[in-house]
């Protein structure tokens, strides 16, 4: 089946320790804190995890021909910042984690946290104004859209 487009939305917030320096991943987590070592984590206090995603969405993400777009929107008092990261699905995506979600530039699917593979960007590639807005604690939305 082609032409399917499904979306999941996660709300979170930035944190003062967001550095977005990781060269191969980006992450949103339900944890309420972030240490400086978490250089791939973009936002904390996520209100949903892969475990919460609809079964149809999860199934669509397991199609290796599926395109998965992760759009990050950060709202601050100074304005809105938005950036899209594009990757693909994989049959090994379980999408069962109840704590965090990770996008990867590689095709590695390690565990239940991976939400997309072969991303065209990682945390280190993101616009620095968006990263600064996250470091200021801006409200963040992660919109995951899968098309197949």
3-state secondary structure string across 61-106: HCCCCCEEEEEEEEEECCEEEEEEEEEECCCCCCCCCCCEEEEECC
% residues pLDDT > 90 (the chain): 93
**Model pTM score:** 0.96
Structural domain containing residue 110: 5-147
Average confidence score pLDDT of the chain:
96
Sheet containing strand 41-43, strands side by side: 41-43, 25-29, 100-104, 114-116
Q: What pLDDT score was predicted for residue 87?
A: 98
Task: Indicate whether 1 pLDDT > 90.
Answer: no
Q: What is the CATH number of the domain that holds 13?
A: 2.60.120.630
pLDDT in tens, 104-135: 999 999 879 999 999 999 999 999 999 999 99
Residue 55 burial (CB count, 10 A): 8
Q: Is the pLDDT confidence value at 71 over 50? A: yes
Cα dihedral 12, 31, 133, 27 in deg (nearest 10): -90
Number of domains in the chain: 1
Pairwise CA distance, residues 69 & 103, whole Å: 10
139, pLDDT greater than 50: yes
Phi/psi of residue 31, each to 5°?
-55, 145
Which band of pLDDT confidence, cut at 50, 70 and 90, is reported for residue 2?
low
């Amino acid at each position: 089946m082609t032409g399917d487009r499904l979306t999941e939305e996660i709300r979170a917030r930035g944190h003062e320790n967001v550095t977005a320096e990781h060269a191969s991943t980006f992450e949103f987590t339900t944890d309420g804190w972030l240490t400086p070592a978490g250089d791939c984590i973009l936002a904390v206090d996520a209100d949903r995890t892969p475990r919460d995603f609809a079964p149809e969405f999860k199934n669509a993400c397991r199609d290796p021909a599926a395109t998965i777009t992760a759009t990050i929107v950060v709202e601050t008092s100074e304005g809105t910042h938005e950036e899209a990261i594009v990757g693909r699905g994989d049959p090994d995506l379980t999408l069962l984690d109840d704590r965090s979600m990770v996008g990867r530039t590689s095709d590695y699917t390690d565990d239940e946290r991976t939400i997309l593979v072969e991303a065209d960007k990682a945390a280190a590639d993101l616009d620095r104004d968006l990263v600064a807005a996250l470091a200021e604690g801006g409200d963040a939305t992660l919109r995951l859209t899968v098309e197949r």
